[in-house]
Amino acid sequence: MTTFQTKTVQLVTDGRQAVQDIRRALIGLYASVGADPSQPQEVARQFSLNRNLAWKLSKVINATDPFATLNHLPGQQGMDLAVDAFRKAGAPPAMLSQLDSAITRFMQFVGVHAGDRGRFELMLESMGLFERETRAESGRELAFRGNSMIWGVQARVRIATMLLGPGAPGKGDGILISGLAGFQRLRPTARWRLFRAQMVDDSGRPMLDAGMEEFEAKHSGETPMIIRKFSSPDLPRIESARAPDGTDFFLPGGEVGNLGAFDCYFGYVFRGVPMARGPGNEYGSTATAINLPAENLVHDLIVHKSLFPPLSPEVLVFGYPHGEPENPAARAPEDMLPITETAVELAGPPPAVATPLIPNYPQLVNALYERMGWNPEEFWGVRVTMRFPPMNAKVVIRWPLAEG
């Protein structure tokens, strides 16, 4: 039997200790001023504390499980108010200093490993070490948090880009990019399929004429289709495997939280895609699968003006309650989700693609133009953005093809 070991063991141990240090400091502080943690109302009256704050501190001190105290542990402002109240009551400076140091160490720990309290709690949820008592959020945000906990992965941004330009007569060439910004595991055993690369027509048949080329040169043994230039320098090992209708890219288990977070981009050049309507090919489209919990989606379509003029494509969101189908053309009307999104025209030319969600995105798009030898001034574009896109769904930008 193989034992899977990562730094997560230390993370959990250190996190528990950080919480316990706060509890121990609070217990000592209460004892030093003669406060009874089992009587929060009396503590509130005696020390001029907010009653809700006194009740939370009582819950923290009397908890039977360290991580359960996170449901009640006050934030920095609340703890500052408590320290100030006990200071005015004559608490020993050494006890106040001990609590202040414990709070600082806890916040530093959370910042390094998770960024904020909410994400640290989510990591613990995903590992089965913490259960929330109450939380009120939007349905899609709740789904994001729940799926993150269940599957043990999440991403800050899911990125999809199609750059489409002229090719052979009646055909189009282009580049497809799939990206994840701020991807991280929430538990060490989470193995995840990051992307699948495939090209099909409306009916789902592979488009054999649309050959796939690497975006950048690869060394022997290097993961295919990965765009190293714009992925994180410390990108972990990614496994690739041929599937019957494409190539799958998997991330094995490993380090969790911020210290294991990364950005990654995959992409390929395709050539010879029919740009005129024909049997089984009435629509042009670009689709992105939402197969992991993501906070944001940025989905761009950028087109050369010679192929067709600027238009307002429709945006469709298909859900797959039984899991995402392997055939990307499996889009039955009854699978459409009641999510209304609009493709917004990008200002230009050239299309202005800058977004605070992806700081290096303009540089990436410029590299796409350079790879194809195209002039950015000759393109127009549209963008679909979405907060907390639903998992096991596909977001499609679709437009009707013109007659040949």
Quick: pLDDT tens for 325-334.
555 555 667 7
pLDDT band at 356 (very low <50, low <70, confident <90, very high): very high
pLDDT in tens, 294-313: 999 999 999 999 988 888 89
pLDDT in tens, 193-203: 888 765 554 45
Residue 254 pLDDT more than 90? no
| C-alpha dihedral (141, 146, 149, 152), degrees to nearest 10 | -80
Predicted local confidence at residue 2, as pLDDT: 38
**Any domain includes 2:** no
Write the burial class of residue 135 (CB in 10 Å: 0-12 exposed, 13-18 middle, 19+ buried). exposed
Whether 155 and 180 have beta carbons less than 8 Å apart is answered as yes
pLDDT in tens, 133-150: 765 556 788 899 999 999
The reply to whether 122 and 149 lie within a common domain is no
Q: Which residues contact 180 (CB under 8 A, 6 or more apart)?
A: 155, 157, 158, 159, 194, 263, 264, 265, 292, 294
Boundary-marking domain end, from 64, 95, 126: 126
Whole-Å CA distances, 48 to 60, 93, 112, 223 = 19, 19, 35, 62
The reply to whether 156 and 290 lie within a common domain is yes
The reply to whether 80 and 196 lie within a common domain is no
346 DSSP assignment: P
The reply to whether 122 and 152 lie within a common domain is no
Instruction: Write out the E strands in 103-230.
Output: 153-166, 171-185, 192-197, 212-214
**Any domain includes 3:** no
**Any domain includes 195:** yes
The reply to whether 102 and 209 lie within a common domain is no
Residue 381 pLDDT more than 90? yes
Predicted local confidence at residue 3, as pLDDT: 39
Segment holding 248, helix H or strand E? strand 246-251
The reply to whether 51 and 177 lie within a common domain is no
201 DSSP assignment: -
Predicted local confidence at residue 335, as pLDDT: 80
* Average pLDDT over all residues of the chain: 86
Report the number of distinct structural domains present in the chain: 2
Domain containing residue 367 = 144-403
**Any domain includes 139:** no
Selection from 10-14, 233-237, 318-322, 365-369 with the highest mean pLDDT: 365-369
The reply to whether 121 and 162 lie within a common domain is no
Whether 189 and 256 have beta carbons less than 8 Å apart is answered as no
Do you find a cis peptide bond into 233, omega within 30 degrees of 0? no
The reply to whether 74 and 154 lie within a common domain is no
Boundary-marking domain end, from 126, 152, 183: 126
Residue 123 pLDDT more than 60? yes
The reply to whether 245 and 328 lie within a common domain is yes
**Any domain includes 390:** yes
Closest CA to 214 of 203, 227, 204: 227
pLDDT in tens, 267-295: 999 888 888 777 767 888 899 989 999 99
* φ, ψ for residue 68, nearest 5 deg: -65, -25
**Any domain includes 131:** no
SS3 label, residue 134: coil
The reply to whether 346 and 284 lie within a common domain is yes
Rounded to two decimals, the pTM is 0.79
Instruction: Write out the E strands in 14-170.
Output: 153-166
**Any domain includes 133:** no
The reply to whether 170 and 242 lie within a common domain is yes
Length of the chain: 404
CATH of the domain at 167: 2.60.40
Return d(Cα 386, Cα 36) in angstroms, integer: 50
The reply to whether 122 and 151 lie within a common domain is no
Predicted local confidence at residue 205, as pLDDT: 54
**Any domain includes 169:** yes
Boundary-marking domain end, from 97, 126, 155: 126
